[in-house]
Amino acid sequence: MSFSFSVLDIPDVILIESKHHSDERGYFLESFKESEFLAHGIDTKFVQDNFSHSVKGVLRGLHYQKNPKAQSKLVTALRGEIFDVAVDM
């Protein structure tokens, strides 16, 4: 298994942690694997993939989407850390 899945207090918010494999050559990790996500009840279709870089202290805006334009989001920290907030409205 390449991921650990933790259900959080807000409905449909799941902490997914990828397990990376490293040695003297570097590291490898999977950021998404449909079969594992489906096995944990995550049946979504990702239609857009974004990367951004922010310097320390940057605050990015909240985004709210509702049907028919609701989106699932998969957030990954490539380096450093992220303080990501989910709001149950």
Over the stretch 73-82, which tens digit does the pLDDT of each residue have?
Answer: 888 888 888 8
**Across the chain, where does the E strand assignment appear?**
3-7, 14-18, 21-23, 26-28
Residues 6+ apart with CB under 8 A from 20: 27, 28, 29
- pTM, entire model: 0.76
Mean pLDDT of 36-50: 88
Confidence bin at 3 (pLDDT 50/70/90):
very high
Domain 1-89 has CATH 3.40.47.10: no
Which residues on neighbouring strands pair with residue 18, listed in sequence order? 3
Which ranges of the chain would DSSP assign to H, the alpha helix? 34-39
- HSE-up of 8 (CA within 13 Å, CB side)? 10
What Cα–Cα distance (Å) separates residue 33 from each residue in 12, 16, 21, 50?
A: 18, 11, 15, 17
